[in-house]
Structure 1
Amino acid sequence: MPVELHLATATDGRPQARQNPMYDPAPGVDRPTRPGPVPDPEMFSGWVGETVRDLDPTTEADPVGVLVNLLSAGGAAIGPGPFLWIGNDRHPALIWALTVGATSVGRKGAATNTVRRLFKAAVPDFIACNTRSGLSSGEGLIEMVRDGDGDKDPGVTDKRLWVVESEYGVTMARGRREGSSLSGILRQAWNGEDLGVMNREALHATAPHIAVIGHISPRELRAKMQDAEMAGGTYNRFLPVFVHRTQLDPDGRGAPDELIDNLATAWKTVLADARRVGEVQLDQQAAQLWREEVYAALCGDETDDGPLAEFTARAAPYAKRLAMVYALLDHTDRIGETHLRAAWALVRYARASAAHALGAAAVASTGDPDLDKLAAAVKAAGPGGFSGDEVYRLFKRRNAAYRADLTARLCQLPGYVAAQVPGEGRHRTVFLYAPPG
């Protein structure tokens, strides 16, 4: 039988763990073993946390998966009105998340569908008209939120969009295609910038408001880590969130209609009120917490430029974005200490999720995916070396100058050398690895 998440509330309003049976099973309860990081109960704060607790007994989905879907869909449905300043950058209420879980037990789709059902009852027009999937090109994304072109095309007046990609590995592959504008357009969309491509169609979209949820398995994520988009900054727009089935409910029938209707009535009011908010700021206690604890903790070691650092490079601004959405969903335009602590806990969980999902890929990296890929191939080639022809085949979509620069940088790494060996009629270059010392 499903067991609820129990949280106590301290006198200062901060949630404290009393018992967390979803992640620490009680005796006699049939619970799957959780292989990854365990969420801090502090992230289940406020109205959004209360919603997760109400829905948890009705689904096998990981509560943290339901949480990030609520934050992402909620921010998308609220729209472009609320914002906060981080330096000179205007940040919208957009939360992008990459839920990472095994195909059979991650229950990634269950988490999204739980939220989709709630929002279909709360804001049916948003789900019907502003939820899409199938990202294939930057031009296609712009088309969904395009400006009008006079009488010829009225364009799209509601620029809100919640994109759900159940196979985000496919989306990543599409972004790698030669000439694809998808990755660049996605980066602009996360920033809330106007979108456009310079082609014959001259597509433009002003003031878009696009949130993305992607699903991917840990194995597929690790396989994609050689993608040059890591260094390009597309991935660090996403919060990586490990998810795993937290309960076995073979006779599950989903949430009762009465529960959905009650929650939907409240969510409809919350989202409508939040849409009227403009600038969001930290209150005095939250600002002090940010200055004294959170900011330094999230900035991390600036000398670390490996894949893990690339994946979590936007932790500090994401903490404020998340805190803003927590606050908006609590009917306020002031980020309180409770909102910031919840956001901080979720960002910490995202970093732990990335480390868990990436495993060995998170360490021993140069920070350049192509250079890491070449170094691994040369090391795997053994004493026979890795030939110039093999370098060409490995990076055949790159030009000769790029490959020459890549091999030159390889030979600057400890243990890697280029050698001339006899060939058929002329010498040929091979690249070798010998452990230093």
Structure 2
Amino acid sequence: MTTFKAMQYGPLGKAVAAAMPHTEADPIGVYAATLSLWSAAVAGKVFQPSGRPTAFWSALVGRSRVGRKGFALATARAILDPSIGSFLGTRMRKGISSGPSLVTTLFEVEQESLTSEDGRDGRVMIAEGEWASVLKRANRDATYHDQLINAWDGEAVVNTTKGKGGKREEQRIDVPLLGYHVHIQPGRWAPLVKPEFALGGAFNRIPHFLVNQSKSLPSSVKKPLDAVKETPALTRAYRWARERAREMELSPEAAARHDAYRAEFDDRMASLPEAVSCFIERGDENLLRIACLLVAAERKTVISVKAWEAAHAMIEYSMACTEKLINEAQQGTGRQMKSVEQIIRESLTRYGGEATRTLILRSLGTRGNADSMEAAIEKMPDVVMEKRAGSAKGGPKPVVVRFVDATREHERPAVQQAQEQNEHQEDEEVEERPKLTVVPAQRKATAVRPPAKKASEPVRKSAPRKAATKRAATSPPQKESANPLAGLL
């Protein structure tokens, strides 16, 4: 599973790493909380290449005490407080569990800012230490999740209230600037994260991270977080971000990587049941939001490949955590997530012993990607991945995964062969995805096809077969059939 080191990038990553000796929290939990607080602080100033917001929301999922979720949030505050001034001290809220109260909170904060020296400022950071309690109430409100979705999307949120004399008044925030960070225990996740709200998109906008205690600090250290110092680079970055609006852009290399990832991500989502994909189907945009925030901390507007890769590692880790939560929620029903190797074998069996790389990736869904598939195939002595000759019309060579054990390479119907040829043609663009090294068959000592028998060797046949052969010898020669299935019948 991806480590914090793979996600660490820029001033934000360095600040979290520097704080870790002074906290018992999970470094990934601290990183997720820091990114959420940072995104709320620069809300309304840093935008994606499309102009959409860069709000990054997060949920830490861990057992009480051993998860150290509260430690993670406290460490994130210790990292950012010196750099972003009074923002967290004046704009953090909690206990909001209905759509009307959410809109009212945003509206009141924005109205209060109109009399300040800096003018209109509707930034709000919601941090819920007990998300389970909030969800119990929020799940009974028809508007809470819808208003959250609108805020994440950057769409207007509206609430109608009764003013003096019973007159109806509208509370409207055209550009909601909302940060969101929550904590919950794994055992309370499944009963409260309701599928009907997940299908509506309420939870795929909130990446989940499983967390555990990183270590125990000596009891003699009474306030360990006091040792966390200001990060000057973040102080400068915050001032830079608040000066004016910044629209980020992908470098050409990062854009190519992101386009390839999106194509793969779409395949993964299409292969999953909707009840599973609904939890993670905003993964590609969350990846881009993370990358934008990481680069903004460098006071840059161009997203490099390294920044994209760090964001990719983080969102892939989050989706793996969500998969684990779904798996544990299904244990009581007897339904279990399968390993990458099991899925590859079942897929090859289903497709007659051979399938394109894209078909296997679709079967894996969120259980793996191209790299994990390659790693699993390396460990499977009877499976190989290789390139085939291209079509007569040219184009990329299809990549196939197949059994190499002759006993498992059974004949496939001609109709299925034709379907797979069409799938080879459909995969032309997908075959150019980066970071997938094809594994030649000759690299595996055990993956060798048995030598073919020489034409001169006698063929042993059963008794009934001999009789049939004898009758054929006395019959007049037949004209060769043009039917390609004749040799199989």
Alpha-carbon distance, 1:229 to partner: 1.0
Which of 1 and 2 has higher RCO (CA within 8 Å, sep 6+)? 1
Query: Equivalents in 2 of 1:170, 1:186: separation in Å?
Result: 17
Query: Equivalents in 2 of 1:207, 1:214: separation in Å?
Result: 22
Deviations 1:28-87 (A, max 9, x none): xxxxxxxxx55352101111110111000000000001101111111110121221244x
Gap regions ≥5 residues in structure 2: 162-167, 336-489
1:76 to 40, 48, 61: 40
Alpha-carbon distance, 1:307 to partner: 3.7
Deviations 1:122-177 (A, max 9, x none): 223201221111112222222222179999x9799211111101111122122221
SS at match of 2:140: coil
Change (3 A) 1:148 1:116: closer
CA contact (8 A) 1:139 1:203 kept: no
Q: Give 1:115's aligned residue.
A: 76
Query: Equivalents in 2 of 1:208, 1:109: separation in Å?
Result: 26
Alpha-carbon distance, 1:226 to partner: 4.0
- Does residue 280 (structure 1) correspond to residue 248 (structure 2)? The answer is yes
SS at match of 1:245: coil
CA contact (8 A) 1:189 1:208 kept: yes
Letter of the 2:68 counterpart:
R
CA contact (8 A) 2:44 2:245 kept: no
Matches within 5 A, 1:335-346: 335-346=303-314
Letter of the 2:127 counterpart:
V
Alpha-carbon distance, 1:103 to partner: 0.8
2:289 to 295, 315, 321: 321
Q: Give 2:279's aligned residue.
A: 311
CA contact (8 A) 2:22 2:228 kept: no
Letter of the 1:347 counterpart:
I
Query: Equivalents in 2 of 1:237, 1:141: separation in Å?
Result: 17
Q: Give 1:187's aligned residue.
A: 149
More displaced 10-residue stretch of structure 1: 222-231 or 105-114: 222-231
Q: Give 1:433's aligned residue.
A: none
Deviations 1:318-350 (A, max 9, x none): 111111111111211111101110111011100
Query: Equivalents in 2 of 1:193, 1:76: separation in Å?
Result: 16
Letter of the 1:310 counterpart:
C
Matches within 5 A, 1:195-344: 195-199=157-161, 200-251=168-219, 252-255=221-224, 257=226, 259-260=228-229, 262-263=230-231, 265-275=232-242, 276-292=244-260, 294-299=261-266, 300-344=268-312
The two structures have a TM-score, normalised by structure 1, of 0.68
CA contact (8 A) 1:107 1:245 kept: yes
Q: Give 2:63's aligned residue.
A: 102
Alpha-carbon distance, 1:266 to partner: 3.3
Matches within 5 A, 1:370-385: none
CA contact (8 A) 1:131 1:164 kept: yes
SS at match of 2:270: coil
Query: Equivalents in 2 of 1:172, 1:365: separation in Å?
Result: 26
CA contact (8 A) 1:100 1:357 kept: no
CA contact (8 A) 2:33 2:181 kept: yes
Letter of the 1:102 counterpart:
R
Q: Which is greater in Rg?
A: 2
Change (3 A) 1:365 1:133: farther
Query: Equivalents in 2 of 1:196, 1:158: separation in Å?
Result: 17
CA contact (8 A) 2:15 2:79 kept: no
- Does residue 177 (structure 1) correspond to residue 140 (structure 2)? The answer is yes
1:49 to 13, 16, 20: 13
- Does residue 126 (structure 1) correspond to residue 87 (structure 2)? The answer is yes
Change (3 A) 1:226 1:107: same
Q: Give 2:102's aligned residue.
A: 141
CA contact (8 A) 2:16 2:79 kept: no
CA contact (8 A) 1:59 1:254 kept: no
CA contact (8 A) 2:233 2:297 kept: no
More displaced 10-residue stretch of structure 1: 276-285 or 102-111: 276-285
Letter of the 2:147 counterpart:
I
Query: Equivalents in 1 of 2:139, 2:111: separation in Å?
Result: 34
Matches within 5 A, 1:22-61: 37=1, 39=3, 41-61=5-25
Change (3 A) 1:259 1:176: closer
The two structures have a TM-score, normalised by structure 2, of 0.61
Letter of the 1:163 counterpart:
I
- Does residue 163 (structure 1) correspond to residue 126 (structure 2)? The answer is yes
Letter of the 2:64 counterpart:
T
Q: How many correspondences in the alignment? A: 322
Change (3 A) 1:246 1:147: closer
CA contact (8 A) 1:308 1:362 kept: no
Alpha-carbon distance, 1:225 to partner: 4.0
Query: Equivalents in 1 of 2:110, 2:180: separation in Å?
Result: 27
2:324 to 344, 356, 375: 356
SS at match of 1:197: strand
CA contact (8 A) 2:156 2:172 kept: yes
Q: Give 2:365's aligned residue.
A: none
Change (3 A) 1:198 1:362: farther
Identity of aligned residues (%): 25
RMSD: 2.7
Alpha-carbon distance, 1:302 to partner: 0.7
